[in-house]
């Protein structure tokens, strides 16, 4: 009974420690952000940076407010976000499915490996005009361009996770009579999930970059189109405001991905995660 009470007390103390650490991390982030903004504003005010090439935080904030009030931000943000989600979902579906197929067939994996490497090594910026020629200047061409970046990341991360399952764990599972289906769903796939989520996070970033780059080449709407327009007018503050919007959008999507990872992979937190 005493041991149980001590265990519960230890868990409560650990939870309190985690909560205080989260608050300290949030506070440190706010302090770092404020220090960065003050240093940025001060560098321009003291003449250490040319305001014609580096806008001040105040100028960026004004440009961002102008974008919001003028009604330009939300429609273009919606277009870019749709392209990112379409390419990301397609990358996840086809990337995971391809990895499972290649994992099940070593012959097919060895046959297609050099071709996949060749396709992945192609410069997407150079292929961007071709995608626009093939799929038009609408949403589809940007989604395909972003998909070409995100797909290979998901494929390689998932395949690597499936290939690196602990051999002793597989042997023990087979000795206990696990079928191939149960072996995949209860051993191989859970073991590969941490690598899959690492690939998902990286794929999300690359899909965002691909969508914006495609919009900068040719588009009817989107944040990349606005960036190209503001760059042509040498509006540094406007360009940096749009870059800030893209960064915040990707940070929000990545935070959502981290939340899903913590919920799904709570079982993987081992004894090395104890506070201390």
Please identify which residue in the block is written with the tokens 């305001």: 51
Q: State mean pLDDT over 60-89.
A: 92
Q: How confident is the model at residue 268 (pLDDT cuts 50, 70, 90)?
A: low
**In angstroms, rounded to a whole number, what is the distance separating the alpha carbons of residues 85 and 153?**
16
> What count of other Cβ atoms lies within 10 Å of the Cβ of residue 26?
10
Q: How much is the mean pLDDT over the chain?
A: 83
- The DSSP code for 266 is G
Question: Which of 27-41, 64-78, 185-199, 257-271 has the least mean pLDDT?
Answer: 257-271
What would the pLDDT profile of 197-234 be if each residue is shown by its tens digit?
Answer: 888 999 999 999 999 999 998 888 899 999 999 888 88
**In angstroms, rounded to a whole number, what is the distance separating the alpha carbons of residues 163 and 191?**
10
**In angstroms, rounded to a whole number, what is the distance separating the alpha carbons of residues 145 and 137?**
12
Please identify which residue in the block is written with the tokens 């760059």: 231
Among the listed residues 143, 164, 245, 155, the one whose alpha carbon sits nearest the alpha carbon of residue 200 = 155
Q: How confident is the model at residue 4 (pLDDT cuts 50, 70, 90)?
A: very low
């Amino acid at each position: 009974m005493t041991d149980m009470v001590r265990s519960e007390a230890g868990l409560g103390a650990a939870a309190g420690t985690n909560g205080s650490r989260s608050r300290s991390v949030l506070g440190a982030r706010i302090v770092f952000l404020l220090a960065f903004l003050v240093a940025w504003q001060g560098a321009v005010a003291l003449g250490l940076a040319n305001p014609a090439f580096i806008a001040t935080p105040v100028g960026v904030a004004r440009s961002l407010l102008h974008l919001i009030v003028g009604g330009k931000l939300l429609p273009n943000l919606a277009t870019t976000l749709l392209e990112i989600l379409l390419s990301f979902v397609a990358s996840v579906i086809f990337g995971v499915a391809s990895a499972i197929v290649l994992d099940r067939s070593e012959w097919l994996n060895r046959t297609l490996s050099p071709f996949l490497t060749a396709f992945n090594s192609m410069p997407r910026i150079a292929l961007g005009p071709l995608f626009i020629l093939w799929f038009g200047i609408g949403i589809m061409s940007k989604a395909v361009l972003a998909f070409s970046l995100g797909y290979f990341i998901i494929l390689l991360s998932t395949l690597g996770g499936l290939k690196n399952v602990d051999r002793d764990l597989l042997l023990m599972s087979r000795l206990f009579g696990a079928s191939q289906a149960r072996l995949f769903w209860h051993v191989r796939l859970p073991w590969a999930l941490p690598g899959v989520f690492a690939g998902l996070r990286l794929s999300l970033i690359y899909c965002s970059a691909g969508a914006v780059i495609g919009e900068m080449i040719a588009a009817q709407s989107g944040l990349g189109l606005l960036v190209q327009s503001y760059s042509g007018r040498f509006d540094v503050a406007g360009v940096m405001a749009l870059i800030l919007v893209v960064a915040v959008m990707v940070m929000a999507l990545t935070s959502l991905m981290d939340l899903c990872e913590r919920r799904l992979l709570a079982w993987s937190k081992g004894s090395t995660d104890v506070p201390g």
